[in-house]
Amino acid sequence: MQITTCSERPLITPCGLERFDYQLDPYIGCAHYCSYCNVLREAETDWRREVRIHHDIEGQLALELLEDLSECAATIWI
């Protein structure tokens, strides 16, 4: 399993689940590769071989919360 960084991508993204506005995505990829996974069709790499993590999760999350969500009441799926 190769682990790389992906700090250029947002941590908080719009969520398609009912009752949630956003979701927290601390990493991209998964070694399980479940056939029922709802995000496999959006995979940019082979998730069975590569997982991409954010370099500075705490700092990036603080910036995104302050800049993007500071003036709205949002429900986030974690």
- Which residue reads 């070694």 in tokens? 31
Q: What is the pTM of this model?
A: 0.63
Q: What is the model's pLDDT at position 20? A: 86
pLDDT tens series, the chain, 78 aa: 888 888 778 888 888 888 888 888 888 877 777 777 767 767 777 777 888 888 888 898 888 888 766 666 666 655
Our CA angle for 64, 65, 66, nearest 5°, is 90
Our CA angle for 8, 53, 13, nearest 5°, is 60
Q: Are 13 and 23 in contact (CB under 8 A)?
A: yes
